[in-house]
Amino acid sequence: MEQQTTVSELLTPAQLAERWSTSLGQLANLRSARRGPNYVKLGSSVRYRLRDVLDFEESSIVAGAA
């Protein structure tokens, strides 16, 4: 059974840009290059599922030298 996403679990590009301290343009570039987190396209609106953002952040961790 597929898990449903609630509206509170969807981030706007502005919310994600603030979370990552980046610009809306950078997020658009990541989407265009297919290098950022998965996103949902609702008509002309873009939204990011929180779980996809968290998964992307987790997969982007780089281990430091021990």
| pLDDT per position as a tens digit, 11-42 | 999 999 999 999 999 999 999 999 999 999 99
Asked if residue 1 belongs to a domain, the reply is: no
> Residue 17's domain spans which residues?
9-59
- Residues 57-65: what's their mean pLDDT? 91
pLDDT at 6 over 60: yes
Give the model's pLDDT for residue 32.
96
The share of the chain scoring above pLDDT 90, in percent, equals 82
Whether pLDDT at 43 is above 90: yes
Is 49 part of any domain? yes
Instruction: Please report whether residue 54 resides in a domain.
Output: yes
Closest by Cα among 20, 22, 33 to 60: 20
Phi, psi torsion values for 34, nearest 5 degrees? 55, 45
CB within 8 A of 16, min separation 6: which ones? 27, 48, 53
Q: Is 15 within the bounds of a domain?
A: yes
Domain count of the fold of the chain: 1
For the chain, give the secondary structure using H, E and C.
CCCCCCHHHEECHHHHHHHHCCCHHHHHHHHHHCCCCCCEEECCEEEEEHHHHHHHHHHCCCCCCC
Task: Tell me, yes or no, whether 43 lies in a domain.
Answer: yes
Residue 3 forms part of a structural domain? no
In a domain, 46, yes or no: yes
